[in-house]
């Protein structure tokens, strides 16, 4: 009998809910992916590159043309200069970038700070590196960092902090002042930071995403991760990138080259071409998703769910205390899916210790107008 290296890992709630949605025919607002396609010109570009023979391994660090586009986009959006040769690495998804960054710095016995509610890939990656996650709860109402809790959780064994902003599942944004404070901690204690910024362009109401890329003191010790899947509506392409100072990138690449070696070549060609020809895509993204958020929230205003409009990401967290306070959030999601035809994700699964009495579920609004209208109608009938 094999002794599991990850005894606590089972089927994730994302798989469970998507499967249940498929079985019951429910509208799937659970897992975070669009029900519409990426831009036609992008898909055509990839198809053309496949047909033109761009089908062999790319360089281990990623296609230079794509790394240059990433660097140009970072200069445009975050006002930071990063060297495409030594600081940008293309990876098969943000997930692989996060995994490699963790393996690069975490040694057996190290502790890694994660903020709950936390994205589910971090902890298994830390455990495989021989480390241990120390969970620090975000403020349960605002999902901001609770500095007292953070300072209490730090120890001489702390090696790395995992940050995620814009935050999945809450949509909360970290502030520039928070980055200043984090930089002080990271520098004083010689820590590292992984900054998961896959929703960097999904920020609404004129707010700005405070990227670690635009914070030189923090960037010195950081791996900043993003995902083309989120930005170009092509989550199934599993293509992302990680930006880190040269010495950190060099260590990450040692691992990346044996986990995957390189990303998928024709996807990289297509993305590089599309990014060069359509820089407006990124600039238009906040408006595109804000319109979806507003449509969905305007419709949900008539429901018995309560919520504040999310400032970022394509997730809207809603409180169901007024509807079924007797149900925990997992049972609420099962009930909503089976009885009311809308699949959602419970928030408690993002916690090591769920917040007592919290009655929140996450709905994904990266959906066509028809899906959002149909889902809202069902949600208003609950
Ligand atoms: C916070 C966060 N990080 C990372 C990822 C993974 O991105 P990718 O599909 O590019 O691996 C996701 C996807 O849902 C996410 O929500």
Ligand 1 pocket, residue 91 CB under 6 Å = no
Q: Lay out the sheet containing 345-346: strands in order across.
A: 315-319, 360-364, 345-346
The pLDDT score that the predictor gives to residue 115 is 98
Q: Is 224 helix (H, G, I), strand (E, B) or coil?
A: strand
CA of 124 to the centre of ligand 1 (A): 15
The pLDDT score that the predictor gives to residue 105 is 98
pLDDT, tens digit, 9 for 90 and up, residues 75-88: 999 999 999 999 99
| 354: DSSP letter | P
Task: Give all domains of the chain, ordered by start, each with its CATH number.
Answer: 13-31+284-380 (3.90.1150.10), 40-278 (3.40.640.10)
Q: Which residues does the chain have with pLDDT short of 70? A: none
Cα–Cα dist 95/268, whole Å? 17
Ligand 1 pocket, residue 165 CB under 6 Å = no
Terminal CA-to-CA distance of the chain, rounded, Å? 47
Ligand 1 pocket, residue 163 CB under 6 Å = no
Ligand 1 pocket, residue 198 CB under 6 Å = yes
Indicate the top mutation candidate among 98, 164, 229 to test ligand 1's pocket, ranked by most ligand atoms within 8 A of CB: 229
CA of 226 to the centre of ligand 1 (A): 8
Cα–Cα dist 175/214, whole Å? 12
Ligand 1 pocket, residue 63 CB under 6 Å = no
CA of 279 to the centre of ligand 1 (A): 22
The pLDDT score that the predictor gives to residue 217 is 97
Ligand 1 pocket, residue 196 CB under 6 Å = yes
- Residue 312: C-alpha distances to residues 207, 364, 373 (Å): 9, 12, 21
The pLDDT score that the predictor gives to residue 12 is 86
| 32: DSSP letter | S
Q: Which are the contacts of 302, defined by CB distance < 8 A and separation ≥ 6? A: 380
pLDDT, tens digit, 9 for 90 and up, residues 30-53: 989 999 999 999 999 999 999 999
The pLDDT score that the predictor gives to residue 14 is 87
Ligand 1 pocket, residue 240 CB under 6 Å = yes
Cα–Cα dist 322/343, whole Å? 19
Q: Which are the contacts of 94, defined by CB distance < 8 A and separation ≥ 6? A: 196, 198, 225, 226, 227, 229, 230, 240, 242
Cα–Cα dist 341/381, whole Å? 11
Q: Which are the contacts of 103, defined by CB distance < 8 A and separation ≥ 6? A: 125, 128, 129, 255
Helix (H), strand (E) at residue 317: strand 315-319
Instruction: State the sign of the Cα–Cα–Cα–Cα dihedral 148, 153, 156, 161.
Output: negative
The pLDDT score that the predictor gives to residue 11 is 85
Q: Is 157 helix (H, G, I), strand (E, B) or coil?
A: coil
Ligand 1 pocket, residue 112 CB under 6 Å = no
Indicate the top mutation candidate among 17, 94, 97 to test ligand 1's pocket, ranked by most ligand atoms within 8 A of CB: 94
The pLDDT score that the predictor gives to residue 10 is 86
Indicate the top mutation candidate among 119, 174, 201, 313 to test ligand 1's pocket, ranked by most ligand atoms within 8 A of CB: 119
């Amino acid at each position: 009998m094999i002794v599991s290296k990850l005894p606590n890992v089972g089927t994730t709630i994302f798989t469970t809910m998507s499967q249940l949605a498929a079985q019951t025919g429910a509208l799937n607002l659970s897992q975070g992916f669009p029900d519409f396609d990426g831009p036609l010109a992008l898909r055509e570009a990839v198809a053309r590159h496949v047909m033109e023979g761009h089908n062999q391994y790319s360089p281990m660090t990623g296609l230079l043309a794509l790394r240059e586009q990433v660097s140009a986009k970072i200069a445009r959006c975050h006002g930071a200069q990063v060297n495409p040769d030594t600081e940008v690495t293309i990876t098969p998804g943000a997930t692989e970038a996060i995994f490699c960054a963790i393996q690069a710095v975490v040694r057996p016995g190290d502790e890694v700070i994660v903020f709950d509610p936390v994205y589910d890939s971090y902890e298994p990656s830390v455990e495989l590196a021989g480390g241990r996650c120390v969970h620090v709860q975000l403020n349960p109402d605002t999902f901001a960092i609770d500095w007292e809790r953070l300072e209490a959780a730090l120890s001489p064994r702390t090696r790395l902090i995992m940050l995620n902003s814009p935050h999945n599942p809450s949509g909360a944004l970290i502030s520039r002042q928070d980055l200043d404070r984090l930089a002080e901690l990271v520098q004083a204690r010689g820590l590292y930071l992984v900054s998961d910024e896959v929703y960097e362009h999904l920020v609404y109401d004129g707010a700005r995403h405070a990227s670690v890329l635009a914070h030189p003191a923090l960037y010195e010790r950081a791996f900043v991760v993003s995902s083309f899947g989120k930005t170009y509506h092509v989550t199934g392409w599993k293509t992302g990138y990680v930006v880190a100072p040269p010495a950190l990138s060099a260590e990450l690449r040692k691992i990346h080259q044996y986990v995957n070696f390189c990303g998928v070549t024709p996807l990289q060609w297509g993305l590089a071409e599309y990014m060069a020809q359509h820089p407006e895509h990124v600039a238009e993204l906040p408006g595109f998703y804000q319109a979806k958020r507003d449509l969905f929230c305007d419709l949900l205003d008539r429901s018995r769910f309560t919520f504040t409009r999310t400032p970022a990401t394509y997730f809207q967290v809603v409180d169901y205390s007024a509807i079924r306070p007797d149900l925990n959030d997992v049972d609420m999601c099962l009930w909503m899916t089976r009885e009311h035809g809308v699949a959602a994700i419970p928030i408690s699964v993002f916690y090591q210790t769920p917040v007592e009495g919290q009655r929140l579920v996450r709905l994904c609004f990266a959906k066509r107008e028809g899906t959002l209208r149909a889902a809202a109608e069902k949600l208003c009938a609950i």
